[in-house]
Structure 1
Amino acid sequence: NEQEKQERAQQIKERFKAKRERERSDRSRGR
């Protein structure tokens, strides 16, 4: 199902973005 594939890709993108954001905040806080 094409829509299902797109939704999964969107979820992965969101999770990846959140992970990047958390890592950046952790780095800035560690300074």
Structure 2
Amino acid sequence: MHDLRTNLSTVIDELDRRGLADRTRLAIGGHSYG
């Protein structure tokens, strides 16, 4: 789970840097098939 959070944080940082996302207005949804 740590790697997932690290990778997601890196992607969010890059999207924010490029002006493609606002990190203060992001929402994450998910679904489990388990």
Q: TM-score, normalised on structure 2?
A: 0.55
The one of the two structures with greater contact order (alpha-carbon pairs below 8 A, sep at least 6) is 2
The Cα RMSD (Å) is 1.5
How many equivalent pairs are there? 20
* Percent identity for Structure 1 against Structure 2: 15
In terms of Rg, which structure is larger? 1
Unaligned runs of 5+ in 2: 21-34
Unaligned runs of 5+ in 1: 1-10
**Bigger helix share:** 1
Runs of 4+ deviating beyond 6 Å:
none
